Amino acid sequence: MAWQHQWRKPPTVRSGDQLSLGERAADKMRNGMGSWPFVFVFFGVMIVWAIVNGVLHVGGGSGFDPYPFILLNLFLSMLAGIQAAALLIAAKRADAVSSEVAVHTENNTDDIKTLLAENTALTELVKKNTDLLDEIHLHVANIGKKVGAEMGRFAPGEAPPTGT
């Protein structure tokens, strides 16, 4: 359906080359980190990390990250810091997009109200003209009957004969 593709992005929202490098990065980060593939990969890496370290510890070895997984906790803390910044950047970008859409909607709402008022006025004029045209047709038909009756072609009140 063509209309579904048309409304994916509002027409006034900047995109592509119109965006700054930071805005494009924020959009990509939001789309990447806010997706199901990211969540599944994240959980997969954590599970693999725990399994590999658990297997290395079973044989008496020390593994590359001892049991409380201090290195993993450090990476998760750094990831949380980056994600917090990414969420703030994405929220700021979403606010900018919402503002652009609101301005576009406000401008178009005024235009649509004006067009609707003009359309209503035109519709009323067409109705008035249609009523006048119906009245003219009635008068012409009455004149035709009167002229036909005066010429003796048909009696008053009868319909004029057809061409057969």
Query: Does 57 have pLDDT greater than 80?
Result: no
Q: Tokens 């994405």 identify what position?
A: 90
Q: How does pLDDT run across 71-118, given as a tens digit for each residue?
A: 888 888 988 888 888 788 878 878 877 887 888 787 788 888 888 999
What pLDDT is stored for residue 23 in this prediction?
Answer: 76
Report how far apart the first and last C-alpha atoms of the chain are (Å, whole number): 54
Give the Cα separation of 20 and 78 in Å (integer): 26
DSSP category for residue 160: P
Please report, rounded to a whole number, the percentage of residues in the chain having pLDDT higher than 90: 16
Q: pTM for the complete prediction?
A: 0.46
Query: Does 4 have pLDDT greater than 50?
Result: no
Give the mean model confidence (pLDDT) for residues 31-56: 84
Give the Cα separation of 145 and 160 in Å (integer): 7
Query: Does 11 have pLDDT greater than 60?
Result: no
